């Protein structure tokens, strides 16, 4: 399912997007507050995409590459994961390369994905989590109408250390 905003074209992630997504996923600053450290190669990103294809084909995940034109390079990614149509809920996520920061592109992409989830999938609840200390993501989630719901203590192990994640939620 392709989605469009005023400035962005969101298309389902493809294996051949790996090189473009590596620009963000290979950047330690972009990945500072992610569950995994920066990827080391395009092949590693390609493998991550391939490992998610079953979830995507099964409808548990929808993952989009964000580009400035229909055939342009992916400058970011947004997703709905853990999609549960029975309980009408899903997790949302976003990641953009550093050169796309500060332009409102993540907000624009997330607005569209949220609208798709609520209106087209019939979801009633979305949630997101970010690592403690990731103030830009916290601010974006709050601008999108998400409310802080609590802290998941030691939720992620990254490079041998436990990290807290902040849980945000939003109802339709």
For position 101, what pLDDT does the model report? 96
- Of the candidates 94, 113, 78, the one whose C-alpha atom is nearest the C-alpha of residue 3 is 113
Average pLDDT, integer, range 157-171: 97
Write the CATH number of the domain with boundaries 3-126: 3.40.630.30
**Tokens 């600053």 belong to residue:** 29
Residue 161 makes CB contacts below 8 A (sequence gap 6+) with none
> What CA–CA distance (Å, rounded) separates 50 from 13?
10
Q: Classify residue 44 by its DSSP letter.
A: H
> What CA–CA distance (Å, rounded) separates 37 from 158?
7
Residue spans per domain, the chain? 3-126
Segment 79-126, tens digit of pLDDT? 999 999 999 999 999 999 999 999 999 999 999 999 999 999 999 999
Sign for the pseudo-dihedral over CA of 59, 65, 66, 67: negative
pLDDT band at 151 (very low <50, low <70, confident <90, very high): very high
Tokens for 43? Answer: 């092949």
- Residue 167 CB neighbour total at 10 angstroms: 17
Mean per-residue pLDDT over the chain, rounded: 97
> What CA–CA distance (Å, rounded) separates 78 from 93?
6
**CB of 65 closer than 8 Å to CB of 13:** yes
Tokens for 111? Answer: 């607005």
Segment 31-58, tens digit of pLDDT? 999 999 999 999 999 999 999 999 999 9
């Amino acid at each position: 399912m392709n989605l469009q905003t005023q400035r962005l074209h969101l298309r389902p992630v493809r294996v051949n997007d790996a090189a473009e997504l590596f620009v963000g996923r290979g950047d330690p600053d972009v990945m500072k507050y992610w569950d995994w450290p920066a990827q080391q190669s395009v092949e590693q990103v390609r493998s991550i995409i391939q490992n998610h294809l079953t979830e995507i084909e099964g409808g548990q995940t929808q993952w989009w590459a964000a580009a400035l034109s229909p055939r342009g390079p992916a400058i970011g990614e947004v997703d709905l994961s853990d999609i549960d149509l029975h309980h009408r809920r899903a997790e949302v996520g976003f990641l953009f390369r550093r050169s796309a920061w500060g332009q409102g592109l993540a907000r624009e992409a997330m607005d569209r994905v949220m609208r798709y989830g609520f209106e087209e999938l019939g979801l009633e609840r979305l949630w997101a989590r970010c690592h403690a200390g990731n103030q830009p993501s916290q601010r974006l989630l709050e601008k999108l109408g998400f409310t802080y719901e609590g802290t998941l203590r030691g939720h992620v192990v990254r490079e041998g250390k436990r990290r807290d994640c902040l849980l945000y939620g939003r109802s339709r």
